[in-house]
């Protein structure tokens, strides 16, 4: 493939990508100006146009974050506040002049970690069939993307809220305006993401300014109720000021602090807040009355989210990862769960929280430790997902799943189908590195079959709105409150009616958003 064939003109200037054995890649394309200096904690603005042809053959910088061996960001990937870039992946088999549906990926990482450059998100497998054009997005993380300083704004110093959400909206606007030049159809965009990325997806389904920018949505393990109000946002901001030693009356000085200091303070609060307030995150989307009008789960419950098809689900053993990490991100002990319920009762007295014994009755026969993990799984991920499915199914097709597949090794070490384990199957990247124990005890051939079916369903949903996997696999009907169909993804896919009946009835439908 010649350089001329890989040169594409965007609204900001021409870019030249690379063709790697049939996969075309344009990496690190800026979709917004660097959010630095006076633009730190401001909504994204368009990048400065460039002349000539910009080389986009390597990933752009990841958002500032610590180095974690378990989450490699990619070879030679830098970290910088200048992180607002995206990547386009497409098969060279797409004929010139034709377009394909677009899938836009939002990575996870608890709103503080991750990048589109992670090897896990290598897009070759997803685009090799030529059915879709793929876009993967970087956005601001931690305090840079989720610290709400808007209540400190004055005529001289203005701060915007929900910066990471605004980043993703800006990326979707870039897709709308530019993706046709790369072979993508801007009228057939599926927004998909996992964990924090799934939370961004479900939140943007309730954001008025995002309406029309995507036409289908996929949310994997969305922490849909981890969206907080402006009062809490102010409280976290004040804690952040204390951590950085900046006085309230000099909040503008935060724009002068070094990147490393903001990152250090981000992770100090990231560790502190879930410890003192189990069940809450330091950084997450906020109900600001502007970009996000209301708690997303309340909007879904009223049937007022954007009326687009939704594929949504969780993993069977979500919480096991947090036990393994000894992380306080979600409460998994009896004391922490009890503390969370007590805080909800105080801060949201209008909610009818079911008595603890009634909830625990749904986990009859489960040991104390396993019960804590099950409650954490359901309060953090499964029940919010079911609540969203219940409400949204009244206005648009919803496809609910649960990912149950775990390799023999993961079952042996009691990790199971924990948080994020579905990702390598979705992306078709099962090889891992030399130290990856996933298939140490076998299961690779089954895993490859799981991956093929999962990709087939996700691609089918993105291209035709129907997540079916072809002959030999069960059809996946939409979720309806009369039958509540759920697809269980395992060594063989299975269809269930009201898979979550016991826990759904125990939790009720009123505990919808948490402080």
Bridge pairing between strands 398-403 and 216-220: unpaired
First to last CA, the chain: 54
Which tokens in the block code for residue 477? 């009907």
Comparing CA positions, the residue from 163, 174, 172 lying closest to residue 211 is 172
- How many CB atoms neighbour CB 510 within 10 A? 12
Question: Angle of helix 163-178 relative to helix 196-204, nearest 10 degrees?
Answer: 70
Which tokens in the block code for residue 323? 């036990």
- How many CB atoms neighbour CB 85 within 10 A? 26
Comparing CA positions, the residue from 410, 391, 229, 247 lying closest to residue 315 is 410
Comparing CA positions, the residue from 448, 446, 460 lying closest to residue 399 is 460
Alpha carbon of 265 to those of 142, 245, 254, 271, 458: distances in Å? 9, 10, 11, 10, 38
Q: Is 396 exposed, middle or buried (0-12, 13-18, 19+ CB in 10 A)?
A: middle
Q: Is 474 exposed, middle or buried (0-12, 13-18, 19+ CB in 10 A)?
A: middle
Q: Which residues are catalytic?
A: 195, 318, 419
Dist CA 211 CA 169 (whole Å): 10
Which residue pairs, CB below 8 angstroms and at least 24 apart, start in 298-303? Answer: 298/512, 298/513, 299/206, 300/202, 300/205, 300/206, 300/224, 300/387, 300/388, 300/391, 300/392, 301/387, 301/390, 301/391, 301/509, 301/512, 302/391, 303/391, 303/392, 303/394, 303/395
- CA 496 to centroid of chain Cα atoms: 26
Q: Is 346 exposed, middle or buried (0-12, 13-18, 19+ CB in 10 A)?
A: exposed
Which tokens in the block code for residue 241? 């000021």
Dist CA 148 CA 162 (whole Å): 7
Dist CA 342 CA 350 (whole Å): 13
- How many CB atoms neighbour CB 244 within 10 A? 16
* Torsion of Cα atoms, 335 then 338 then 342 then 345, to 10°: 160
């Amino acid at each position: 493939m010649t350089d001329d064939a890989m040169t594409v003109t965007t609204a900001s200037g021409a870019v030249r990508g690379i063709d790697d054995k049939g996969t075309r890649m344009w990496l690190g394309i800026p979709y917004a100006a660097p959010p630095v200096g006076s633009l730190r904690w401001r909504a994204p603005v368009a990048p400065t146009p460039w002349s000539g042809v910009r080389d986009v053959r390597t990933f752009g910088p990841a958002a500032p974050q610590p180095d974690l061996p378990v989450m490699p960001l990619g070879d030679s990937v830098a970290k910088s506040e200048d992180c607002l870039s995206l990547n386009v992946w497409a098969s060279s088999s797409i004929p010139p002049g034709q377009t394909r549906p677009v899938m836009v990926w939002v990575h996870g990482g608890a709103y503080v970690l991750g990048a589109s450059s992670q090897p896990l998100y290598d897009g070759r497998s997803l685009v090799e069939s030529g059915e879709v054009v793929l876009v993967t997005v970087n956005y601001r993380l931690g305090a840079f993307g989720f610290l709400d300083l808007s209540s400190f704004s004055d005529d001289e110093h203005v701060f915007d809220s929900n910066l990471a959400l605004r980043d993703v909206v800006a990326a979707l606007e870039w897709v709308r305006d530019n993706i046709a030049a790369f072979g993508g159809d801007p009228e057939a965009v599926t927004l998909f993401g996992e964990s924090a990325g799934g939370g961004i997806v479900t939140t943007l389904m309730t954001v008025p300014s995002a309406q029309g920018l995507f036409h289908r949505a996929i949310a994997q393990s969305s922490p849909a109720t981890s969206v907080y109000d402006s009062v809490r946002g102010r409280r976290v901001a004040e804690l952040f000021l204390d951590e950085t030693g900046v006085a309230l009356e000099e909040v503008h000085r935060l724009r002068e602090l070094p990147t490393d200091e903001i990152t250090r303070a981000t992770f100090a609060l990231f560790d502190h807040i879930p410890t003192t307030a189990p069940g809450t995150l330091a950084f997450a989307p906020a109900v600001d009355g502007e970009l996000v009008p209301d708690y997303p789960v309340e909007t879904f419950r009223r049937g007022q989210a954007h009326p687009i098809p939704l594929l949504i689900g969780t993993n069977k053993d979500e919480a096991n990862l947090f036990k393994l990490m000894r992380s306080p991100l979600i409460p998994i002990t009896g004391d922490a769960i009890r503390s969370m319920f007590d805080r909800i009762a105080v801060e949201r007295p209008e909610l009818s929280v079911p008595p603890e014994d009634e909830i625990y009755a749904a986990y009859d026969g489960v040991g104390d430790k396993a019960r804590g993990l099950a409650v954490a799984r359901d309060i953090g991920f499964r029940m919010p997902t079911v609540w969203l499915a219940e409400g949204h199914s009244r206005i648009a097709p919803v496809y609910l799943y649960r990912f149950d597949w775990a390799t023999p090794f993961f079952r042996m070490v009691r990790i199971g189908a924990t948080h994020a384990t579905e990702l390598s199957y979705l992306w078709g990247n099962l090889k891992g590195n030399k130290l990856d124990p996933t298939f140490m005890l076998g299961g690779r051939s089954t895993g490859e079959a799981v991956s093929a079916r999962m990709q087939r369903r996700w691609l089918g949903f993105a291209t035709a709105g129907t997540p079916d996997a072809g002959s030999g696999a069960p059809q996946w009907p939409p979720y309806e409150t009369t039958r509540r169909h759920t697809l269980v993804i395992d060594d063989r896919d299975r269809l269930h009616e009201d898979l979550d009946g016991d826990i759904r009835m125990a939790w009720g439908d009123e505990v919808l958003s948490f402080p």
